[in-house]
A = this chain, B = another copy of it.
């Protein structure tokens, strides 16, 4: 049975098949080895994600076999400030942690053998958020998200992952190590440029490898072209 990777998260997951996206890059990387299943829900926080878990996973792994891994990538919307324009996306920190625990418990129960990979919210470039929301650079504006709040939620995500024994990708920290991350990795202060996508893609590959899932460890589907003998091609297809 072909292994599956399920990507569950908010808009940064939903948009991960755009040109240069981290989801498409996974599908390309594992093209002959695994299926990548997209379950991104733009704008969602963990509270809403919890409400739709069963419906969101319809068709994600019907064949009976557990997916090899599922990425859980929420928090960017939970960390929205509670007193700014996108306040209805905000989820308090304690509830965010509880919701992450509940999402992980759901997957642990549904797919016992799947690796559950948590991803922290990314960093925020506040001036770009103001431009995105208000269409201007008025310095009296407040952004609807701050990097500090995102960092607090990132730390909470790491805490929950460690408590539950799941691998975690600290993209909040990793991305900020990139020169000019504010504009090189982020397109609008929140979503990812192709370079930002590449940072996450590399981290997901490393994490998958740490749980035994890599191009080297996986069987390739069907004879590869270079394995087919030009003098006797059909030999490769004898079972």
Contacts and interface: CB of A to CB of B under 8 A. Distances in A.
A52 B231 CA distance: 19
A230 interface: yes
B38 A31 contact: yes
Contact of A14 (B18, B31, B228, B230): B31
B58 A2 contact: yes
Nearest to A51: B237
| Interface size, A (range) | 35 or more
A206 to B, nearest CB: 20
A92 interface: no
Given A20-B19, A24-B21, A14 B32 contact: yes
A155 B228 CA distance: 28
B17 A88 contact: no
A199 interface: no
Contacts of A179: none
Contacts of A24: 17-19, 21, 24, 27-28
23 contacts: A2-B58, A2-B59, A14-B31, A14-B32, A17-B17, A17-B27, A19-B20, A19-B194, A21-B28, A24-B27, A27-B27, A31-B38, A35-B38, A41-B221, A43-B228, A48-B234, A52-B223, A56-B222, A59-B63, A62-B63, A62-B64, A63-B63, A88-B230
Interface of A: 1-2, 4, 14-15, 17-21, 23-25, 27-28, 31-32, 35, 37-38, 40-44, 47-48, 51-52, 55-56, 58-59, 62-64, 87-88, 194, 221-225, 228, 230-231, 233-234, 237
Closest 10 CB pairs of A and B: A43-B225, A62-B63, A24-B24, A2-B59, A51-B237, A88-B230, A17-B28, A17-B27, A62-B62, A19-B20
